[in-house]
Every structure is written in structure tokens, then in C-alpha cells.
Amino acid sequence: MLSPTGNTGDAVFRILMLIAALLMVAIVVAMVIALATDSMLSIRQFGFRFLTSQRWDPIKGEFGALPFIYGTVASSLIALLISVPFSLGIAVFLVEQAPRYIARPVGFLVELLAAIPSVVYGLWGIFVLAPFLRQYVEPALAKWFGWLPFFRGSITGIGLLTGGIILAIMVTPIISAVVRDVLAAVPGSQREAALALGATKWEMIRVVLVNGAPGIAGAVILGLGRALGETMAVTMVIGNRPEISLSLFEPSYTIASAIANEFTEATGDLYVSALVELGLILFLVTFIVNGIARLLVWNVTRGTGGVGKAA
């Protein structure tokens, strides 16, 4: 490992690079240890109950993570449900159908959505999106789909649906960029074979999509990872209420929002420890999610020159 060439310059170089790599590993490990240590107090106090209790009461010292876990997962799921079809559509259009002179600038524009700071998304959400949803979209949903448990309750424009939509907008550029890479990596021979057999354009695209399916799944999970951790934009429009409700109009609360809202002010060791434990749970969830994503994406784009643009 030191130096297969026997050259000292090589040995030094390799060791330096190895040190850089190990430094990264050390930092991540340190993060996990730091999170685990600071949440020890809360883990000891609540144990498994932390994951199932719905009560979050800093004054009385009762903490339960379930509403936050629900809010985080639900908002991310809504974001994906909205974003994935759109992202696939965008990626397919830009890779398979648009001529080059449209695809490059439009692709650039879509990626620009990722460059908007999340604080700005939050502000836009409060002042533009929420009133719009409250006045036009949510009443329409309540009228047509009110028989479903998802569209009941008072309509304020602030709630799980708004949070999900903002997340969807934020996540779309990531998913579409990665899917574009994945689709571009599918060998041209697949396309030619389908067309030679008489497929229409859409049927050929289906073949390409199936071919890139693991990579697409990876892109989706990447977007999910980003959605799980998004803080600022969500906390401004989701209502911040630690309660579980099936209705999308009702307010909700995500883990990242809770930490952002309460960490600087949390006084009292148990309170801080509970918040850190929330962070640990979120870390572990993103860890798992990203692990799956990367494994899938690498399978498809390994060595084919797809530039990683996803943040």
C-alpha cells in the first residue's frame, strides 16, 4: 500500500492522500460520537419511549420524537410524490427530446432553482405560496377530495401540504440533474435497438428508463435525503405543531425545524439532550437513505463520465 513503485515521492504522496481521506472518516465518526454522547442523557431517561411518545413539553420535561419523525417523513414523501414525476419529465425532455440549443440553457435554469437560498424559499412560501394555496388550491381540494381523510380540517394555507410543496420545488433540480446524468449514461445502443424494432419515441424512452431504473431510484433517494434535512424553508410554512394528523391542511413539525427553532434557546440539560437525540435520529435516517442512494447510482454511472452535479 505504501508504494508499489518503490519511489519515496510516491510513498509520501500516497500517505498524504490517505491522511486526507482518513481525516474525512474521522470527522464523520467524531460527529456521530458527539451526537451520541450528548444525547445519552435523553436516551437513558426515555429509552425506546422516545421514538413512540407524542408528547413534546419542554416545561414539564416530557419529550417524544414521534410527531417529528412523522412530520419529517410525511413532508418528504409528499415532496417526492410531487417532485419525482416532474423531475422525470424534465430529465426525459432535456435528454431525449429537446434539441441541444434548448436543452443546455433550460437545464441551467432548472438547476438554478437549487441555488436559491432556503431562507428565500421560506419567505416566498409565507407571502406567496401559502396565501395562494389557502385561497385557490386547498378549497378546491377540499371540495373535490374532501371525502378522503387527507383533505379535511381548517384551511389556513400553513401546514403539511405547503411544506411538502416547497420541498418539492427545492428537490426537483437535484433529482432531475442526477436522472439526466443517469439517462445520458445509458448506452446509445439500447436506444437504437428499440427504434430499429419499430418502437415509437415514447416506447424507446421507456426502454431507456427501465435501463436506468436503479440510477433513477438512486436519484430519488438522493432527493429524499435532501428533503429530510431541509430546515429553514420548511419551518416557516409548516405550522410547527408537534401533532400527528392525516390531513394535509393541518400543521406539522419536522426534526430539522425543531432543532432550528429550539436549539439556541434550550436551557436545561435534558431539553438539549432530547434535541440532540432528534439530531442523531435524523443523522441515522439520512445515513441509511444516502447509503442506499449511492449504491444504486454508482451501479449505473460507474466510469461512464457522469459529472456529479447534485448537491
| Least Cβ distance, residue 47 to another protein (angstroms) | 21
Closer to another protein by CB, 141 or 157: give it: 157
SS3 for the chain is: CCCCCCCHHHHHHHHHHHHHHHHHHHHHHHHHHHHHHHCHHHHHHHCCHHHHCCCCECCCCECCCHHHHHHHHHHHHHHHHHHHHHHHHHHHHHHHHCCHHHHHHHHHHHHHHHHCCHHHHHHHHHHHHHHHHHHHHHHHHHHHHCCCHHHCCCCCCCCHHHHHHHHHHHHHHHHHHHHHHHHHHCCHHHHHHHHHCCCCHHHHHHHHHHHCHHHHHHHHHHHHHHHHHCCHHHHHHCECCCCCCCCCCCCECCHHHHHHHHCCCCCCHHHHHHHHHHHHHHHHHHHHHHHHHHHHHHHHHCCCCCCCCCC
> Which among 43-51, 139-147, 185-193, 239-247 is the span making contact with another protein, rule CB under 8 A?
239-247
Question: Within 10 A of 108 (CB to CB), how many other CB atoms are there?
Answer: 9
> Which among 43-51, 141-149, 189-197, 299-307 is the span making contact with another protein, rule CB under 8 A?
299-307
299 binds another protein (CB under 8 A): no
> Which among 43-51, 138-146, 188-196, 230-238 is the span making contact with another protein, rule CB under 8 A?
230-238
Restricted to residues 162-191, the positions that interact with another protein (CB under 8 A) are 169, 172-173, 176
Restricted to residues 261-280, the positions that interact with another protein (CB under 8 A) are 261-268, 271, 276, 279
Closer to another protein by CB, 28 or 51: give it: 28
| Least Cβ distance, residue 147 to another protein (angstroms) | 21
| Least Cβ distance, residue 18 to another protein (angstroms) | 6
Task: Name which position in 80, 248, 256, 300 contacts another protein (CB under 8 A).
Answer: 256
| Least Cβ distance, residue 252 to another protein (angstroms) | 10
Restricted to residues 95-124, the positions that interact with another protein (CB under 8 A) are 97-98, 106, 108-121, 123-124
Each residue 5-44 as x (binds another protein by CB under 8 A) or -, in order, gives x-x-xx-xxx-xxx-xxxxxx-xx-xx--xx--x------
Closer to another protein by CB, 57 or 192: give it: 57
Closer to another protein by CB, 150 or 180: give it: 180
* Partners of residue 252 on adjacent β-strands: 239
Closer to another protein by CB, 196 or 307: give it: 307
Q: Which amino acid is at 241?
A: R
Nearest CA to 221 out of 173, 175, 283, 168 is that of: 175
Task: Name which position in 36, 41, 134, 270 contacts another protein (CB under 8 A).
Answer: 134
| Least Cβ distance, residue 153 to another protein (angstroms) | 10
Q: Are 23 and 30 in contact (CB under 8 A)?
A: no
Restricted to residues 41-70, the positions that interact with another protein (CB under 8 A) are 55-60
Closer to another protein by CB, 5 or 189: give it: 5
> Which among 41-49, 142-150, 186-194, 248-256 is the span making contact with another protein, rule CB under 8 A?
248-256
Nearest CA to 43 out of 305, 296, 281, 273 is that of: 273
Q: Are 266 and 275 in contact (CB under 8 A)?
A: yes
